[in-house]
A and B are shown apart, each in its own frame.
Chain A
Amino acid sequence: MPDTLPDPDLISALPRLRRYARVLTGDFTRADDLVQDTLARAWEKRRLWKAGSDLRAWLFTIMHNVYVNQRSVRRRESAESSIDADQGPVAGWEIPTRATQSDRIELAEVLAQIARLPGEQREVLLLAAVEELRYEEIARVQGVPIGTVMSRLNRAREKLRHINSEPAAQSFKVVK
């Protein structure tokens, strides 16, 4: 039962944690707040972390739960407005800096496509394709059965199928 989290590991997980937060919230500012809240929660719960286990997956799980809790609070608070904050397309994703001009267009298009996916599909896609987490770990992060993970993953891939077909030019015509 460790009393502290392994600091260098935690630091090296930060960029990934921030990226996951951006994918969850779809908003850079809210994402940074979510990282802070997640780190605070991780410190409160640090005794529950099993030394030697994958810190990244553990942090993702905490972040997912913090995010879901905050969202349900927000929903209760704005119940009368009946806006579903999670289902709409994400606004405000920035294109990564330092990309070349042609890159930026292509990457912007990829990000725009992903932004249109439902939140939980976005999340699974990032964890499986980019973070390369095991499907069982993703199921734990999201707190759902593995079958649900697979169907979310397959649906996300199906929707994005056209973006991997060679030139991105055609996909600019995609209408929401």
Chain B
Amino acid sequence: MSAGLPLSEDDLSAYADRQLPPERVAEVAARLVEEPALAARVAAIQRQNAMLRDAFDPWLAEALPRDFIAAASGRRARPSRATRAWPAFAAAASLLAGVALGWLVRGELLQREGTPVTFPRQAALTHALYATDANRPVEIWANEEERMVRWLSKRLSFPLHAPNLNSVGFALVGGRLVAGNERPGALFMYENADKQRISLLVRKDAEPARETAFRYALEDGVGVFYWIDDSCGYALSGNLDKLQLLSIARIVYGQLAAAEASAPKP
């Protein structure tokens, strides 16, 4: 129909950003096949988008000032306590605990900033925070899995693998960078047909930790299987039956071990 019309700059942008109305996608895609110069423009826009995300995404993993948490719940922080920055996960931890226990005790919880957060607790809270996020549970979606794994590996400074859990009905949703105690961690999110979500948190701290067997913890109703392997902590979290979660944790463990065995030794 409109095959003769030249594609506008807007068309190319919309196509590159996947915002073209569905009825026009096929038409534009066909034109791009015919005109390699335009296809190259689209590819350049997409490369530029990827580069912009690489440049701006690290900001998301920074610790948030604790005043933000107070302001986000409709209160201004008291100025005397306003200066301390808090790791984002600890803030989220207090928040979620506060939601669970009721607003009255929240103020107190926010002040217990010295409370150490254990690895399974961090995993459960991080899971609770992002698994319920309808719009943006992950920073990079699974359709860009390769870029996501590359980006997270770069940020964590060691090679990561996103396990494939399709065999147990969980598809990869995507991944995100999350704040950790000393270094950032990576979170991979999975979802099954019933929209149940589970997540795998991977974290490596500066202090090498001792290897452990599988351990189980129940934190605020979220089940967590966690283990430490080669000084790297892994935690699989979800609101699943314990045995079901364990069987998935075994698959994750097996796949990571296989990936490690096949990786070239440094």
CB-based contact A100/B154 at 8 Å: yes
A11-B69, A36-B68, A164-B51 given as contacts; is B19 within 8 A of A98 (CB)?
A: no
Contact flags B127-138 to A (C-beta < 8 A → 1, else 0): 011101101100
CB-based contact B184/A98 at 8 Å: yes
CB distance from B129 to the nearest CB of A (A): 6
A15 to B57, CA, bound (A): 10
Is chain A's binding surface mostly helix, strand, loop or mixed?
helix
A14 to B55, CA, bound (A): 18
Instruction: With CB as the reference atom, state the residue of chain A lying closest to B156.
Output: A98
Is chain B's binding surface mostly helix, strand, loop or mixed?
helix
B71 partner, pick from A35, A97, A99, A103, beta carbons under 8 A = A35
Q: Does B99 contact A (CB under 8 A)?
A: yes
Q: Does A139 contact B (CB under 8 A)?
A: no
Task: Tell me how many residues of A have a C-beta within 8 Å of chain B.
Answer: 50
A11-B95, A96-B59 given as contacts; is B45 within 8 A of A157 (CB)?
A: yes
A97-B62, A129-B17 given as contacts; is B48 within 8 A of A36 (CB)?
A: no
CB distance from A45 to the nearest CB of B (A): 12
CB-based contact A8/B96 at 8 Å: yes
Q: Does B10 contact A (CB under 8 A)?
A: yes
The bracket for how many chain B residues form the interface is 35 or more
In the complex, identify which listed stretch (A16-24, A70-78, A82-90) lies at the interface while the others stay far away: A16-24
CB neighbours (8 Å) of B9 from chain A are: 150, 154
CB neighbours (8 Å) of B183 from chain A are: 98
A99 to B151, CA, bound (A): 11
B92 partner, pick from A11, A111, A114, A153, beta carbons under 8 A = A11
Q: Does A43 contact B (CB under 8 A)?
A: yes
B contacts, CB < 8 Å to A = 9-10, 13-14, 17, 19, 44-45, 47-49, 51-62, 64-65, 67-69, 71-74, 76, 88, 91-92, 95-96, 99, 128-130, 132-133, 135-136, 154-155, 157, 183-184
Beyond the given pairs A96-B55, A164-B47, 6 more chain A to chain B contacts, judged by CB atoms under 8 angstroms and listed by A's residue number, are A7-B72, A11-B129, A18-B68, A96-B58, A107-B55, A128-B17
